[in-house]
A = this chain, B = another copy of it.
Amino acid sequence: MLATVISAARDIRVEEVADPAVLAPTDAVVRVVAACVCGSDLWPYRGVTPTTKPRRIGHEFVGIVEEVGSDVSKVSVGDFVIAPFYWCDMTCANCVNGVSTSCLNGGWWGAPDRHGDFVDGGQGERVRVPLADGTLYPTPGTPDPSLIPSLLTLSDVMGTGHHAAVSAGVGPGSTVAVVGDGAVGLCAVLAAKRLGASRIVAMSRHADRQAIARQFGATDIVEERGAEGIARIKELFDGIGPDCVLECVGTAESMDQALRSARPGGMVGYVGVPNGGAELPIQTMFGTNVGANGGVAPVRNYVAELLPEVLDGSLNPGLVFDLELPLSEAAEAYAAMDERRATKVLLRP
């Protein structure tokens, strides 16, 4: 089958690789219907995280189950399924607590499982899915093709934006600022709106992304950054700042922006993968009682809540995809996102 392989910074190729197979009785094999490129995939692409040898890449996909192991009972051949960006059993103490990213038996795509067997990345024609009963979420029936982009966001970006909002405690009447206008930041705007925020400021300098943010529920746009951005945000909220700030970038600068923008006693919900050695400035946080909550989003736990609204058309996070390419053009997908010609690219095998 064909799958995307990264060999070095800016060296992305779609190559012939071995077909996946059911190796454990809890495995399934899924034929990928749609996959995409994640902001975090740009890190090895840009060389921020080194690539020492060729490896498979990708971790967001939806597809059709083609084969299941003998112990798989919750998904069947032919099911349309959503896969989160990791695999998990959904039965261990952490999964039951809502934190399936800390599954005691789980792991990550494009890496060996706990038996040492390689698990495919998601940017390919097929994927071996460990712990299929926990990992995969089957939709009721086969969804309308027009819903596929939005369903695909439940694999990562919509669930991640939702996690930022939930972690910050967004609820009815909350005031919110969102740092980051990538796909996750835009989904965080949508999540905040969905959870009842009364005012949502999107920090963005790009007209196209500002337009999506407004469509998703942003009431205000702030283009300034740094100290100027903080001052502008505070000004919009009685001079003290909003209740909740959703940090959706992952740099030291963006986290600093978030922590200094929240009102005293406010909460930063952060989901940007921490990039570099930035740590949280506890003196600042202590003095202002601004908390930080979040992390790698347990999106599998959120599918049950978000899916019905995607299926009935009331939640349309798929608008974050502004480019669609065949899998064979994965290299162009990376380049388009790297050069900010696209916010998020959907790939079809």
Contacts and interface: CB of A to CB of B under 8 A. Distances in A.
B295 A274 contact: no
Interface string A88-99: 000001100111
A286 to B, nearest CB: 4
B295 A99 contact: no
Interface residues of A, number: 39
A259 B264 CA distance: 22
Contact of A292 (B264, B278, B280): B280
B283 A267 contact: no
A255 interface: yes
Contacts of A174: none
Contact of A263 (B94, B239, B290, B291): B94
A273 B286 CA distance: 7
A312 to B, nearest CB: 29
B293 A298 contact: no
A140 interface: no
A102 interface: yes
A141 interface: no
A31 B250 CA distance: 52
A279 interface: yes
Interface in A46-70: none
A289 B298 contact: yes
Interface in A199-237: none
Nearest to A97: B265
B289 A291 contact: no
B167 A291 contact: yes
Contacts of A298: 265, 289
List 3 tightest A-B contacts by C-beta distance, closest first: A291-B293, A102-B264, A280-B280
Interface of A: 93-94, 97-99, 101-102, 104, 167, 238-240, 255, 263-265, 267, 270, 273-274, 278-283, 285-296, 298
19 contacts: A93-B263, A99-B263, A99-B264, A101-B264, A101-B289, A102-B264, A102-B287, A265-B298, A270-B286, A278-B282, A280-B282, A285-B292, A286-B295, A287-B295, A289-B294, A289-B295, A289-B298, A291-B292, A292-B293
